[in-house]
Structure 1
Amino acid sequence: MAQKVLVVEGVNFDQCLYDTNDLSVIRGASLLLDGALPVICGAVTRTGARIGASLGGASSYEIAFEGAEPAEVEAAVRRALAQDPWRALSWVVSVADTATAARGRNRRQQFQTWTVKLSDVPGAVCEDALDRVRPASPGRDDAIKGPLSPETRIRLEHGRQFRRQFFRNGTRNLVEDDILCASFEELVTPPPKGLREGMKGKIAVVHFDGDRMGDLRRLVGDDAEFSAQMGKMTEDILTRLVAGVRRRRAPEDRRFRMEVLLWGGDDITLVVPAWDVLQVIGDFQAAIAGVKIASLPVSFTGAAIVANYKAPVRKLVHLAERAVKVSKQAEVRGAVTFDIFKMSPPERPLEAHRAQLFPGATARDIAFSGDDFGGLMALLAARREAQERGQFLSRSRAHDLVQATPEDRDDLLKKYHLRVLQVSAADHPQDALANLYALPQMEGVERDLSLDLMLWLDLDELYYAPPQDSAEAAA
């Protein structure tokens, strides 16, 4: 019997992963998505099939097999995923001669099934207290959350039970007395000393998508080897991220202020306090620096969406995923973009939001290379220090210049630049100070001073350096 390929995918994330703002529910769903491979393989082997290479993680799995009928394998996997706790999610399952053909069948399945998965709840007289959609029974109240549907309860309990285990499995840096945040509000409260008012209560959803992973997989030529190399890389990333988050918090703060929304392979989504997002991205880029698969460097395209912690998480995730897609469509790979909202993002496309803020700018114009992210961080620190010495633009002066007409803005900036050089030349060489006025940019980009200034205002808002006494205490 010829070898076939089984593809299993988690789908309809809006209604089973990001349908609530409860961290335990989200993590429960995410952990179920990431941990389904043993259940799927067990169902396949019970049909008598012999499993070959398997590949996947986060929400998608490919398994080569032979020795069993495709329909029998499909039915066995569906039965396994219809049991607790896996039934709380939406799955599509197909077998075909190739993974591409199986994924095509899965898309058709997805469009032929209900978006929201509902259980029969006898005596249900109210809605789920968290997702506000599914039926729930008051007799099944959670002591804190209120009435919950079976699907939400399953995810909530799974998240509560296994959130800490996820970090323990991937890294040795999480210790017993670390407190995992139970909500987005806990993630950002209390704010650290010296944090700017504009960043208080703000979270950042960060999405990374691997570049050219299909090409790397083909070059490796062995799915098991490719999966092993990807697994080693993501473990190293997680270890560095956890260590960095713990290292930067205040000595008296035991909260672990990072949550993983989706983790697996080349698809990673995190949520962190806005004040730590630059450092987290810096740790991510440092973790993949120099990593090669099939003799080619590995890179990820990323995006950070910053908004109030009360904003619907699904909206922030959609925007982060869209930002990465816009970058890749513009051939901007291995870079990161930032979009900041005062409260919740408005109901308009990301591109329209950017066009209003940065007229005429492209995705490449506003992106920052991951390879030089350390240089960007060093420049932001240098600008902050120069600003405190009065040798760089104050934020109020910068805002005034941004509001000037385009013609006046560039002229005023150049004059201000020259004036600062003249008064500080004794202590700071002209070329060193001049470098403060140019943010790193992607290859082929030549930003004007006005766009550089607007981007700096955003990055400077995100840049947080603890007061000297706090930094010394942490050290």
Structure 2
Amino acid sequence: MSTYYLRIEGINLYQNLGDSDQISVIRGGSLLLREAMQTIKHRFSQLDSISTGASIGFFSFTADAEKAAEIQQAVVALLNKDVYQHLTFTVDTHLASAEGFLFDKEAILAKNRFHQMRQLTVAVPAPNAHLKVNPCALGNLHPATTQIKIKKKARQVCPSIKQRHYFGKRGKWKFYEEETGEKQVRKTTLDLGQIAAPGTAHDPKRDFANLNRKIAVIYLDGNGFGKIQNKYCKTPQDLQNFDQQIQQQRQTFLTQLLDKMNADVDCITLDDRLRIETLLWGGDELTLVLPAWKGLEILAFFYHFPWQFKPKPGMKPITLTHAGGIVFCQASTPIQRIDKLSRDLAESVKDMPEGRKQNLFEYAVLESIDFPTESIPSFRQRQFGNLHQSRRPLKPLDEDKLAKARVLREEIPKGQAYTLARMAVNGESMMPGLKRLDEVIEADSKDIEQQLECIFPEDSQCWQWLHLVELWDYLDTPSKQEVLV
């Protein structure tokens, strides 16, 4: 009997999960991947879990070569039927070697990658014998050989979309209770439009002014988790310890986030639902959809949480950092594109010097239903001209910085702030605009510039004003007085 490792990974995720803008379908695909790893962990009692994430499962077991092959084939058979058959996975085993655990971990990962290159990027649907079948109404890729009902209206869809839609609706509220281990006070919103709809259970006439029907999509990805594992996780037990600590912290964070939102009347809809959607949860990354007026506040809440890893008792904890991307847009904007944009923003953070070593985030504000179709640098150049070359990711805007920014928003006339921002984009001297600001506010604008330096400490004067203007509407929930004005 020998020790073997088994590694399963959901692959080609964009092709299999990003083929629809229907929110239940997207959620269902993510939840299916998450459940696949949990099902394998519980279905195969001979497997010892080392690490599981949103789409990855890593296990060890003891067997001879013949039995190891049988276990691998049994896992493959499970993933090729029922609810998982429309997703694609790689499943590999590796015999533990004398080179040690780190070598074996890289070896089985290489096997996964090799087999991924030899597989199709999509799960092939069953043959279609009906020549007049239309494409899937929600995916436009596979034949629509079945149907579902959305808001009581029948839609012709492919089996993959149907399965994910069903699972997304069924597992929506179950996820929060399973992840937190607590029965939830209230259910979450049914769709993205409801997340940002006016009115609350506390005040049916509550209006969020120009933020009505606007959402914030937040994507966060851990920095260097793999390097930390390679440095401190020399055995399966070490990696298991790392995985358990991360999962426990994610559970604690989600519990605290839901408690925070349940206590905030502006996070509750008119029909008493919580304004949140979770599109991705697991491993070192997550995607949340929130009302636009809570985006920066929740992002600050995430970065304030003490993410850390303690390799051994008595050792100093290692601070874990994340790259973030947040997009503010209309709730009707295709979520598939916005989800990708939030990921691209986080990736652009990691491409910057020191971007993988500290908490940093990037943002994009889309004022219309349009979304950028070009690369992030091209998008920035179209927005800010040559000034885009000096743009830097932002350090987290904690509550103190957000409070300072809100005070500035009250002190500075919006028109004057926009004038200064236009001067910055046009490459003009900002001195005339600052002098005019002195006259309007009847005070010295140097005090304002000092506050901007505190809020955006590593940015130039031009970018400090641009950030203030870009984020102007999203710094806080509109007050009732602002709505009346």
State the TM-score bracket (shorter-chain normalisation): 0.7 to 0.9
| Secondary structure of 2:85's aligned partner | helix
Deviations 1:244-298 (A, max 9, x none): 3333334763122111111012111112222221121122123236x45331112
User: Which residue number corresponds to residue 160 of structure 1?
Assistant: 169
The answer (yes or no) to whether the contact 1:292–1:298 under 8 Å persists in 2 is yes
Deviations 1:86-132 (A, max 9, x none): 22322122223523232333233333333332432666523322212
Deviations 1:51-87 (A, max 9, x none): 3452021111211233143543332211111122122
1:24-39 pair list within 5 angstroms: 24-39=24-39
User: Which residue number corresponds to residue 337 of structure 1?
Assistant: 362
- Call closer, same or farther: CA 1:459–1:195 in 2, change over 3 Å: same
User: Which residue number corresponds to residue 77 of structure 1?
Assistant: 75
Q: Match of 2:452, as an amino acid?
A: Y
- Match of residue 219, structure 1, among 222, 225, 232: 232
Deviations 1:392-442 (A, max 9, x none): 2x2222222333375544212442465467x347xxxx8864433335346
User: Which residue number corresponds to residue 65 of structure 1?
Assistant: 61
Question: What TM-score, normalized to structure 2?
Answer: 0.82
User: Which residue number corresponds to residue 56 of structure 1?
Assistant: 52
The answer (yes or no) to whether the contact 2:6–2:58 under 8 Å persists in 1 is yes
The answer (yes or no) to whether the contact 2:4–2:63 under 8 Å persists in 1 is no
- Call closer, same or farther: CA 1:191–1:455 in 2, change over 3 Å: farther
- Call closer, same or farther: CA 1:71–1:138 in 2, change over 3 Å: closer
Q: CA deviation at 1:351?
A: 1.6
- Match of residue 286, structure 1, among 304, 319, 325: 304
Structure 1: gaps spanning 5 or more residues: 387-391
1:157-236 pair list within 5 angstroms: 157-171=166-180, 175=184, 178-190=186-198, 193-197=206-210, 199-217=211-229, 218-219=231-232, 221=234, 222-236=238-252
User: Which residue number corresponds to residue 15 of structure 1?
Assistant: 15
1:259-270 pair list within 5 angstroms: 259-270=277-288
- Call closer, same or farther: CA 1:146–1:325 in 2, change over 3 Å: same
The answer (yes or no) to whether the contact 1:130–1:145 under 8 Å persists in 2 is no
User: Which residue number corresponds to residue 416 of structure 2?
Assistant: 397
Distance in 1 separating the partners of 2:58 and 2:387: 40
Q: CA deviation at 1:235?
A: 0.8
Distance in 2 separating the partners of 1:196 and 1:252: 15
Distance in 1 separating the partners of 2:9 and 2:346: 21
User: Which residue number corresponds to residue 462 of structure 2?
Assistant: 450
- Match of residue 106, structure 1, among 101, 104, 112: 112
User: Which residue number corresponds to residue 455 of structure 2?
Assistant: 440
Distance in 2 separating the partners of 1:359 and 1:244: 40
Structure 2: gaps spanning 5 or more residues: 96-103, 201-205, 312-316
User: Which residue number corresponds to residue 248 of structure 1?
Assistant: 264
Identical-residue share of aligned pairs (%): 21
Does structure 1 residue 271 correspond to structure 2 residue 289?
Answer: yes
Q: CA deviation at 1:174?
A: 6.5
- Call closer, same or farther: CA 1:102–1:145 in 2, change over 3 Å: farther
Distance in 1 separating the partners of 2:122 and 2:298: 34
Distance in 2 separating the partners of 1:353 and 1:470: 31
Deviations 1:175-232 (A, max 9, x none): 45x34323222222237845343x3433222111112222433425512211211111
1:324-473 pair list within 5 angstroms: 324-330=346-352, 331-332=354-355, 333-342=358-367, 343-359=369-385, 365-370=391-396, 373-386=398-411, 392=412, 394-404=413-423, 408-416=428-436, 418-419=438-439, 423-424=442-443, 433-438=448-453, 440-441=455-456, 445=458, 447-467=459-479
The answer (yes or no) to whether the contact 2:148–2:154 under 8 Å persists in 1 is no
Deviations 1:323-354 (A, max 9, x none): 21221121223111111122232221012112
The answer (yes or no) to whether the contact 1:358–1:451 under 8 Å persists in 2 is no
| Secondary structure of 2:471's aligned partner | helix
Question: What TM-score, normalized to structure 1?
Answer: 0.84
- Match of residue 326, structure 2, among 304, 310, 313: 304
Distance in 2 separating the partners of 1:31 and 1:135: 24
Q: Match of 1:168, as an amino acid?
A: E
| Secondary structure of 1:256's aligned partner | coil
Distance in 1 separating the partners of 2:127 and 2:456: 56
| Runs of 4+ residues deviating >6 angstroms | 139-142
Deviations 1:355-414 (A, max 9, x none): 3334456798432223x522321122212332xxxxx2x222222233337554421244
